[in-house]
Chain A
Amino acid sequence: MNTVKTGYVRPLDLRKGRVDLGFGAGGRAMAQLISELFLRAFANDWLARGDDGAVLPAPAAGERLVMATDAHVVSPLFFPGGDIGSLSVHGTVNDLAVMGARPLYLAASFILEEGYALADLARIVESMAAAARTAGVAVVTGDTKVVEQGKGDGVFITTTGVGALPAGRDPGGARARPGDVVLVSGRIGDHGMAIMAQRESLAFDSEIVSDSAALHDLVEALYAAVPAEAVRVLRDPTRGGLATTLNEIAAQSGVGMELDEAAIPVSAQVQAACELLGLDPLYVANEGKLVVLCAPEHAGAALAALRAHPLGTEAARIGCATADPQHFVQLRTGLGGRRMVDWIAGEQLPRIC
């Protein structure tokens, strides 16, 4: 990466300017975009060096490194409760957090569409920087490419994160055992419905706000309350929602699940919006919720720890893992019957009737 002496160049027009192909061409325009937008927003010594990568200190003795990556292609780019910038930080930070790791560094790569307003890009980058600051991670290296108009959707952001895994922690999707308690950190479906309500084809007003948030602090609170080995599985139920996450865990661990529908927190607004569209909140995406499978003897303490944290005040115990060679996720319905909560076939689409 190069930086430019600001004295010799006319500053970028961050009010009315637009992304053009020059911003990805490696020349002065690109250097200017980097220095005036990215360096300023992310402000750290690694980026300021302007090199092709970041040299990072080794983890503390006994710690291991965890790495995760996440591509973000949300539409609309701005939504109630966040935007693609904050989401791209939370997405990767949460991938690290559910590995049990303390997130440390992010790399960010931007694919920008020619013609995209620089003012909007600046808002996204500022929001991303704010989310990174709040989460205590530094964006230490990055890349920018520009594609022709019509070949992108405004902005795509891929973030890759590195975190440190303290000794003794080893949560994993394959570690659930029959009897483990399933906890969820709060109301489900907020992110997916907030996005859906913003889509132009859906003309309904709602006050649903995305739950997009960084979960590593909540994870730390959990580990502070229970022995590390009691935390069997951590997951953030993003795409495909809670149902998909639990089916993944069931398949990975070779267990079944039994859930109690009445115990699963869903806001009245999300429930109503799902009802209107014929969707099931169990399959709607979240961006700031934690699913925990915990050893039964520590479930009470784990739940209390989640509830004591601002991101987990509505945490609930929603079921348990079972011995089931079929790995079925089953639900006791609020009505008193039973049903399966199956893998979804493709994307959830609204029903006609």
Chain B
Amino acid sequence: MKYVDEFRDGALATGLARALAREVDPGRDYAFMEFCGGHTHAISRYGVADLLPPNVRMIHGPGCPVCVLPIGRVDMAIGLALARPEVILCSYGDCLRVPASDGLSLLKAKARGADVRMVYSAADALALAVREPAREVVFFAIGFETTTPPTALVLREAATRRLANFSVICNHVLTPPAITAILDSPAASRLGALHLDGFIGPAHVSTLIGSRPYEAFAARYRKPVVIAGFEPLDVMQAIRMLVRQVDTGRAEVENEFTRAVVRDGNPKAQAIVSEVLALRDEFEWRGLGVLARSALRIRPAFAPWDAEAKFGLDYRPVPDHRACECGAILRGVKKPTDCKLFGTVCTPETPMGSCMVSSEGACAAHYNYGRFRDVPVHVVGTSAPPNPDQETA
């Protein structure tokens, strides 16, 4: 595939891995967090960890939109879809399986009679509302800065067209407050357990917000940030740039993803977002808790298209399992395997906490792609003697 294969090339990766191995200081350890689920996915999917020197550790951050979505918000959508037969509830594919209260998810609510549909874009949801004038189409909007402008656009479009049967449950969250929350967390400062040398900054989010928002933060916390694309070679190159910053005592914002990210981002998209959406005073993040000024709500001028106002929806927080370590894992203080629930009661089929919900979450990524590393596996091909007494399923 053009413009993609170049960023997944095995020979280039080997070269980059060798260069990285030469450059790292063998006398120290490096711990970097990739904030974005997209990077977590790339690292797991392509086995990037195997190409890194042993003293470079990657910590999977909270940048997976379905992972940080609190159960109470999904409950809200399910409640609405089940209570009102006129409602068609639409959302993105990986939102539909998020487990909510009472053993439900949007998919399971569908099996109980709710009209739940998967859409590929906010525009699809709007088009559905136009096609089905007798129904109430509610778009359950989620995501970081990347998916926010399309939501703002359809809200504006609905208002312009006076479309009375369309509304949005807005769950959009912001990246910078989450990064700050990780560095400010009491667990991190109290225990000194958080050892983070730098961040790989988001790819798609940064195309919208630019690289500027990370500058104050890099300076204040003295942590380097390298914005990187979502391809595995992007990630490796970003790690190399982070290593160089750490070794030379720098804490700057650098941009590896120059083919898409500029310092000021996309001002047009930012303008549409601020016209339609405003900061919420606070918002609950699954795994990180309530964070001030970390999410967006629909402005009062667009209230007729705000499903929360239109249907009088109430948010009720739902705590995660007490033994769940997601909070510590999202902050990089613990590893998935440090959690008692991991792989026993908490699996991708039955997630107990945010990190197991989507394959981009730290726990699910490790479970799906990496758990073979936890057990000593005797991987041999032809050299192993065939065992006639092998167990069969």
Contact = CB atoms under 8 A, between A and B. Distances in A.
B386 A177 contact: yes
A284 to B, nearest CB: 14
Interface in A70-107: none
B48 A323 contact: no
Given A326-B375, A339-B45, A349 B370 contact: no
Nearest to A351: B94
Interface string B145-164: 01100000000000000000
A349 B369 contact: no
B280 interface: no
Interface string A302-336: 00000000000000000010111110101111111
A152 interface: no
A351 B146 CA distance: 13
Contacts of A134: none
A352 interface: yes
A353 B360 CA distance: 10
Chain A interface, >50% SS class: loop
A353 B38 contact: yes
Nearest to B143: A352
A325 B372 CA distance: 11
Contacts of A336: 10, 13-14, 17, 47, 50-51
Interface stretch (B54-62, B116-124, B212-220, B260-268): B116-124
A171 interface: no
Contact of B51 (A262, A328, A335): A335
Nearest to A172: B392
B372 A328 contact: yes
B226 interface: no
Contact of B65 (A277, A339, A353): A353
B46 A340 contact: no
Contact of B204 (A275, A323, A353): A353
Nearest to A274: B1
**Which of B65, B96, B384 gathers the greatest number of chain A CB atoms within 10 Å?**
B384
A332 B147 CA distance: 33
Contacts, number: 162
A338 interface: yes
Contact of B384 (A272, A280, A323, A333): A323
B379 interface: yes
B349 interface: yes
A177 B360 CA distance: 33
Interface residues of B, number: 70
A342 B347 CA distance: 12
A59 interface: no
Interface in B135-151: 142-144, 146-147
A330 B379 CA distance: 10
B191 interface: no
A86 to B, nearest CB: 28
Interface in A196-247: 201-202
Interface in A237-276: 251-256, 258, 262, 268, 271-272, 275
B1 A272 contact: yes
Given A334-B10, A342-B367, A349 B93 contact: yes
A179 B8 contact: no
Contacts of B290: none
A174 B375 CA distance: 23
B13 A340 contact: no
A300 interface: no
B49 interface: yes
A200 to B, nearest CB: 10
A255 to B, nearest CB: 7
Given A254-B390, A322-B379, A342-B369, A352 B65 contact: yes
B96 A349 contact: yes
Nearest to B7: A335
A174 B386 contact: no
16 contacts: A201-B120, A254-B390, A256-B377, A256-B379, A272-B1, A275-B1, A323-B380, A328-B372, A335-B9, A336-B51, A339-B44, A340-B372, A349-B94, A353-B38, A353-B65, A353-B230
Interface of B: 1, 4, 8-10, 13-14, 17, 36-38, 41, 44-51, 65-66, 92-97, 107, 118-120, 124, 142-144, 146-147, 204, 230, 232-233, 347-349, 358-360, 367-372, 375, 377-387, 390-393
In the A-B complex, the 4 residue pairs with the smallest Cβ-Cβ separation, listed nearest first, are A337-B47, A349-B93, A337-B50, A323-B384
